[in-house]
Structure 1
Amino acid sequence: MPLPDLNLIRVFVLLYETASVTSTAERLNVTQPSISYALARLRQQFDDRLFIRARHGMTPTMTARQLYPPLRDALGQLEATLGSMQEFDPASCSQRFRLALTDLGAMALLPAIYQRLQKQAPCIELEVIPLEIDRVEEWLLSSKVNAVICSRPIMTENLEQCVILRDRYVCLGRTELLGPKPISLKKFLAIRHALVASSSGHSLAEDVMRRNGYQRKVSLEVPHFSVLPRLLLASDLLAIVPMQIAKEFIHDSKLDYHELPFSVPEFDVTLYWHAGYSRSPAQRWFCETIMNAIKEI
């Protein structure tokens, strides 16, 4: 059986990852009929339906599930190799890059990252994808995103990484609620808390408290850090947040932060990307530009 051409492989991989003809067409900047035609050719090539329309999108058949890993990997290696043979000019690049990060990352890091990217490559597009910590490995290995910024270690093979900053956790609340520094453990545990969901990737302090048997009074759980300033200003709640973002939150407000009354290790904020794409000049430029932007903060 002859191998499908590169464009057909791209269509197959994106259809598998997006489960949508519309999304695949948008990603490839072609029409939906073009994707339907490519799918018909793929079905003929492999003598299988490959994808079946279902309620929640295009569901892969068993044959498609078997084909996806090797075709995904082969596509990544081939595109990286072809890219390494071409000169890359950021000024003329119109590629769309996808970066996954938390709402904290968007608040603290995105302005500097975007400014640096736009200065060098004004025609590129940057799509920011909300971080889902349990899916970042899948996203990186499937090339759904070009890079991820997060504080939770990712130990998967075939990923490269670079620590872009170090941070620590503090407790944040209204100045009059916190009182004089330092806050005691007894007072810290007695005050009610707002907890940011562990899906944000920030659960280190919670893990330390659990190991030490500290039980704080969690009255509210929220999915994102960005809601905390107005929430804390209007309540008698404390929250544990990274130091970098605490400084942003207390600017021109009645909030303050104290060091935690127990020891929590500092943590790294790390940039991750698929090792297979390191030979791509565009990918290298994207990651290096993010690193340089963070250094300037």
Structure 2
Amino acid sequence: MSHIDLNLIRTFVTLYEARSVTLAAERLFVTQPSVSYGLARLRELFDDALFSRTRDGIRPTHLADELYLNLRDALTRIDDSVQGSRRFDPASTERRFRIALSDLGEMGFLNLILARLNRQAPEAEVEVLPLQMDQAGEWLASGKVDALICRQQVPGARSQKLIRERYVCLLSDRHPRIGDVLSLEQFLAERHISVTRNTGHGSVEDALKQMQRQRRISLQVPHFSVLPKVLPGTELLAVLPAQIARLFTLEGGLRQLELPFPVAEFEVSLHWHPNSERSAALRWFRQTVAEAIIQGQ
């Protein structure tokens, strides 16, 4: 135990976070047999199976759960010390950066982020994970993602405001009853598409509830990205952030109008874990992402 290989610790932590030998191998840039060999050595070292196979991948044992936090923190401190002691060169790095984005983030920000990264760090890789707000804090703390972008606060994270947004109404440009201005009576009389509240966009319903009003929901969908395919040619209305509504109107067949009642604006922020601030690479990545979005507006 006194001569444990640092690579074994890295293999264990990556396996625990990926819950898949295949995905762990991709993240470590090694072959699957190499990861399997490392797992065999870990099992011998700790005298425990550590992971059991399931239909969806691998599941950690009780001992693996106990080991993970300490080994992850130790590995993070070692990596940060090494990275902090040497100059980070974006132009030559082949590092993979991981960021969590919602579907709105992917549509509104990803092209801006990739364009800047491609110019400054052409050999770097980017992995985008679908944002799950109930796991956001854990993902940052565990290092599963290096950063994430959302409108909500993330417990234990540091944040930087990127943009300030407002909500608008999106509808077909051939809607038979609505002209250039939308009244409250028209808004409430028409049928709507609603995007589920677990995306974090429930402000419209909250505002209507305070007014003791309610809109007529005819269709509920999990993602904003389907709206350009559903709305054109219908009489349905949808409410979404203005930046994304502008993108959708560029595709044709849609237009946006201001809402006929006040809804609070909101801030979209970049979030990261304080532990990552010791890494020159991650500081550069966060700064690059922030500049790409702020300057791209």
CA positional deviation for 1:264: 1.4
**Which residue is equivalent to 1:206?**
205
CA distance in 2, matches of 1:3, 1:201: 48
Contact 1:95 1:124 in 2 (8 A): yes
**Which residue is equivalent to 1:43?**
43
**Which residue is equivalent to 2:170?**
172
Distance 1:112 1:152, change over 3 A: same
RMSD over aligned CA atoms reads: 1.8
**Which residue is equivalent to 2:112?**
112
Q: How does 1:135-284 map to 2 (within 5 A)?
A: 135-154=135-154, 156-157=155-156, 159-177=157-175, 179-251=178-250, 253-284=252-283
What letter corresponds to residue 49 of structure 1 in structure 2? A
Contact 2:178 2:186 in 1 (8 A): no
When structure 1 is superposed on structure 2, of 51-60 and 6-15 the one drifting more is: 51-60
CA positional deviation for 1:243: 0.9
**Which residue is equivalent to 2:61?**
61
CA distance in 2, matches of 1:13, 1:209: 46
**Which residue is equivalent to 2:25?**
25
Counterpart secondary structure, 1:241? strand
**Which residue is equivalent to 2:2?**
2
Counterpart secondary structure, 2:91? helix
CA positional deviation for 1:139: 1.8
Contact 1:4 1:42 in 2 (8 A): no
Counterpart secondary structure, 1:249? helix
CA positional deviation for 1:199: 3.2
**Which residue is equivalent to 1:83?**
83
- Residues 53-85 of structure 1, C-alpha deviations (whole Å, 9 max, x = no match): 223222111111111122222222221121111
Contact 1:134 1:199 in 2 (8 A): no
- Residues 147-206 of structure 1, C-alpha deviations (whole Å, 9 max, x = no match): 11112222x11x221111110111111245362454222221111111112233322223
CA distance in 1, matches of 2:81, 2:212: 52
TM-score by length of 1: 0.93
What letter corresponds to residue 20 of structure 1 in structure 2? S
Distance 1:9 1:204, change over 3 A: farther
Among the aligned pairs, what percent are the same residue? 49
Contact 2:174 2:233 in 1 (8 A): no
CA distance in 2, matches of 1:22, 1:200: 29
TM-score by length of 2: 0.93
Contact 1:131 1:200 in 2 (8 A): no
**Which residue is equivalent to 1:98?**
98
Structure 2 gaps of 5+ residues are none
CA distance in 2, matches of 1:9, 1:26: 16
CA distance in 2, matches of 1:164, 1:205: 22
How many aligned positions are there?
295
Contact 1:152 1:202 in 2 (8 A): no
Contact 1:100 1:129 in 2 (8 A): yes
Structure 1 gaps of 5+ residues are none
CA positional deviation for 1:293: 0.8
